[in-house]
Amino acid sequence: MRSERSYVAGLYARLDAERARVKGEYEAALRDDAGTAMERDVEVRALGREVKRLNVADNGLCFGRLDGVSGERCYVGRIGLFDEEDSYRPMLLDWRAPAARPFYVATGANPENMLRRRQFHTRGRQVVDFTDEVFGRPGAGGRGDAALLAAVSAPRGEGMRDIVATIQAEQDEIIRLDHPGVLVIEGGPGTGKTVVALHRVAYLLYTQRERMERHGVLVVGPNPAFLNHISRVLPSLGESDVVFMTTGDLVPGLRVTAEDTPEAARLKGSLSIVDVLAAAIADRQRLPEQPLPIDVGGVTVRIDAETAEWARDEARQSGLPHNEARAVFADIVGYVLTERAIARIGRGWLTREDRETWEKLRTELRRDLTNEAKFTAALDELWPILIPETLLAQLFSSAGRLRAAGAGEALWRADGDAWTVSDVPLLDELSELLGREKQDDRAAEKERKAQAAYAADVLDNLVSRKDSMDDEDHLFATDLLYAEDLAERFDERDTRDLAERAAADREWTYRHVVVDEAQELSEMDWRVLMRRCPGRSFTVVSDLAQRRSVAGATSWDAMLAPYVPSRWVYRSLSVNYRTPAEIMTVAAALLAEFAPDVQPPESVRASGVRPWSKQVTEDELPSAIEEFVHDEAGREGTGVVIGPPGVPGAVAPSETKGLEFDAVLVVAPDQILADGPRGAAELYVALTRATQRLGVLHQGPLPQVLIGLTSV
């Protein structure tokens, strides 16, 4: 024990020294005025990331040791540390390094050339105890679980904790999976699928840092409470270039204030809504009922239906978004009007053979036409500039416009701009179909993105060259530059960090996307996310049995095949680390009722506490809830009351998706079951949030599926 304490103390001394060195370089870089602004910016960013990485390593810096059969010994921890005085000998292996993998997967049956695995139990910077597994001994067939059981049985805090010290073999296989496309992680409650996905992000950032760091990672969750719950995991692993969003945040600045009916959500979530949106745009591309008079060069000419139809056909066939195609429409109409005006102005003295005069007059008249208010008004009437929010609001609040677009009455609402989550992918789609409102902005944006894309390609090629060379002393531009730095696309440097810039930019594309509670996302949601990640690199976290949304996934093959028909793989997690066996038995009975083909996850532990139910009257309900809250306030850990709308102090089951609490009180399970076609899934979610204690309060008879509860 003394030698281990001494070694770990040496690791902390090395960490402190490294932190002081990097902090000093960072502060010096902030003061340094030598070199270009770009060079200083690159250095400051790189050192800033390193400061953050070192600052999060204090808690559980080293959590284990591996002894190889060859006598080699290595320590495993949150980050890698090296002895500068001993040829940079590894003092501590980063948990993501290939050499650290046996720490998570070695067993007595497959020892991975290891003799022993030692797991440290620490308090602050001190090693207080350790447990050993010696491989090859009789009966040493699996991994010891003392550290795991201690972790899963510990009281919950404010947020999700990382599992870097207790990753299990089936989890490690998924974390390190070498797959460039879409990975679907399916697992029941408590299987750790969310935290596995986050550790996979940390692993990808470790192994593909040059490629991923420039674009960042997007994590999509079901609600803000869930995102807050998981937001500490990646920073605790030293990774900060991550954007956290709900699907309602995918259009920056939009405020969701309403909720759709199930039928409206189903219609909006289907890909068929794209045809409705296209038809709604086409409905605004009109022909004049009567010829529109326009004054040009002192004569009056008219935009008739035939001219407008020709211009409309050409604009539609251009393939440009609606707002950009307006220029095509205007060019055709303007050409016809100027030709007609020239013919009238030059009647009797000008012929087409006099090309020079004809062209000169055409140029002058076209300039006059551009400044003619009636011409601009005519364009606004026949081919108006459209804004996504305005178009969609007017569509949904007009029964006539809905009919014209081929949509049903289920989409009608009185307040057109009372936005719902299901509107977000529609607005994103309209942004693509409409394009920008100002053409000069669009051109500048295209040029900017083209420059950045070119720079990224250059850097990727340099990365490939660097990776293929044996000489590690070569230094390439990728060691110094970001793509946007190489492109030099800003007149003034954008000082926001990557996460801030990405969150504010609807057109930002990510290198990797994590989607949690993915079974709730519609076809249109996936269309948006695929647009955000052109490389189609996703980690998808799902439990189809918990699906609530009528527009959500029922089959991953059906949902993903349109985008990645041969680039998605499926992995499942079967062990429940959160829910004790006593509670899971009750939840499994409910699962068998509404999803008989789904196998419930197997709990790794029992708590020794039976889940209970109690029947109360309407008058007794508030005091029963208050009693639960009071009792839990005196315990260590967290508690929650889950129930339908109207229950005092309760949150809805959907708001607790992905969360966990030491104690859970479920109120009015019969009402939760009756809440629509997916009420059983909602109750299943509510029952499986508890890590220690579960109680149920009911006024009427207890639902038959819950008879496994102990009545009190």
Q: Between helices 424-434 and 262-269, what is the axis angle to 10°?
A: 30
Q: Which amino acid is at 434?
A: L
Using the 8-state DSSP alphabet, how is residue 191 labeled?
S
Is 190 a known ligand-binding residue? yes
Q: Between helices 273-283 and 262-269, what is the axis angle to 10°?
A: 80
Is 194 a known ligand-binding residue? yes
H or E stretch including 312?
A: helix 305-317
* Token pair recorded at residue 550: 């009528």
Is 189 a known ligand-binding residue? yes
435 vs 320: CA distance, rounded Å: 8
Is 406 a known ligand-binding residue? no
Three-state SS sequence of 463-509: HHHHHHCCCCCCCCHHHCCCHHHHHCCCCCCCCCCHHHHHHCCCCCC
Is 191 a known ligand-binding residue? yes
Question: In degrees to the nearest 10, what's the CA dihedral of 521, 523, 524, 526?
Answer: 70
| Residues across the chain | 712
Contact, 167 vs 105, CB < 8 A?
A: no
Beta strands in 57-100 (DSSP E): 62-68, 73-77, 81-83, 89-94
With 0-12 CB in 10 A as exposed, 13-18 as middle and 19+ as buried, what is 85? exposed
| Pairing of the two strands 114-123 and 62-68 | antiparallel
H or E stretch including 294?
A: strand 292-296
Nearest Cα neighbor of 684 from 532, 483, 548 is: 548
Using the 8-state DSSP alphabet, how is residue 162 labeled?
P
H or E stretch including 695?
A: strand 690-698
Chain-centre distance for alpha carbon 504 = 14
- Dmax over Cα atoms in the chain, in whole Å? 112
Is 24 a known ligand-binding residue? no
3-state secondary structure of 616: coil
118 vs 121: CA distance, rounded Å: 10
Is 221 a known ligand-binding residue? no
Is 192 a known ligand-binding residue? yes
Nearest Cα neighbor of 666 from 642, 702, 649, 647 is: 642
Chain-centre distance for alpha carbon 241 = 13
629 vs 225: CA distance, rounded Å: 20
Contact, 442 vs 322, CB < 8 A?
A: no
* Token pair recorded at residue 539: 């980690």
Q: Which residues are annotated as a binding site for ATP?
A: 187-194
Q: Which residues are annotated as a binding site?
A: 187-194
